[in-house]
Amino acid sequence: MPLSRIYWFHEARAFLCFPTMATFPTLHLNGTGKIDLRDEYAAAYDAIDKAIDALAAATLNGRDYYPQAEGAYHQARSERDAALDQLRQAHKYAGEMLAGICDQM
């Protein structure tokens, strides 16, 4: 089986799952409180979600770039797309951490 995909079965349905990027903490008595961990990662997840929406809504208009060198708008668009990808990756990480914590509660 390729490492990029893992199949698991639940209630007679197969799901395609991708390996997580997060190493989950183990909830135990000597560690950080489970409620604190859950709430902190939930807050991070929500904040990143808002950041994604805000950046996506920010104006990026070709008319603001035409006085510059040719291709400036496409470069700016590429840079924003890369920034959004990084936010989405952080969002995925926070969501995986939250799920891993909640699964232990």
pLDDT digits (tens, 9 = 90+) for 31-80: 999 999 999 999 999 999 999 999 999 999 999 999 999 999 999 999 99
Report pTM. 0.79
Measured distance CA(104)–CA(28) in Å, rounded: 10
Nearest to 86 by CA among 43, 61, 60, 55: 55
DSSP 24: P
Residue 62 belongs to a domain: yes
Is 16 a member of any domain? no
Look at the chain and report how many structural domains it folds into. Answer: 1
Residue 85 lies in a domain: yes
What mean pLDDT is predicted for residues 7-29? 65
Domain hosting residue 64, numbered range:
27-102
- Does the residue 68 lie in any domain? yes
Is 38 within the bounds of a domain? yes
